[in-house]
Amino acid sequence: MRVGLIFTFLVISSSLLGQAVYMHSIKLKSGALKLASIKDTLRPDHLLFAFADDDTESWKYTSWTQELHWLASERNALVVSPDTKERELTWSEIESVMSHYKDSVSSLEKTEFMTLGSGVKYGCDLLSHGFKGLIISPSASFKSSTEIKVSSVGVIQTLGSEDALIVKDSLERLGHWVVHHQQFSSDCYYIDGYKEIYQAVFEAVDSIAHVVSNDSNYSAKTIVTNVLPDVIRQGKQVEINIQVMENGAYSLDLLDLSAKSVFHKEMYLGKGKHSLSFNTEDLDWGVYKVQLDGPKFLYKHKLMIRG
Examine the pLDDT at 138 and tell me if it is beyond 70: yes
CB 56 within 8 A of CB 116: no
**DSSP secondary-structure letter at 221?**
-
Asked if pLDDT for residue 188 goes beyond 60, the answer is yes
Q: What confidence tens digit (pLDDT) does each residue in 51-104 have?
A: 998 887 777 899 889 888 888 999 999 999 999 988 889 999 999 999 999 999
Q: CA–CA separation, 251 vs 77, rounded Å?
A: 45
For residue 227, the model assigns a pLDDT of: 79
Q: What is the pTM of this model?
A: 0.67
In whole angstroms, give the CA distance from residue 175 to residue 158. Answer: 23
259 φ/ψ angles, rounded to the nearest 5 degrees: 70, 15
- Residues found in the chain: 307
- Top mean pLDDT of 17-31, 135-149, 274-288 is at 274-288
- What pLDDT is recorded for position 35? 95
- pLDDT tens digits, one per residue of 228-277: 889 999 999 999 988 887 888 999 999 999 999 999 999 998 877 788 99
More confident residue, 17 or 291: 291
**77 or 217, higher pLDDT:** 77
Burial class (CB in 10 A: 0-12, 13-18, 19+), 63: middle
- What domains are there in the chain, each with its CATH number? 4-219 (3.40.50.1820), 221-306 (2.60.40.1930)
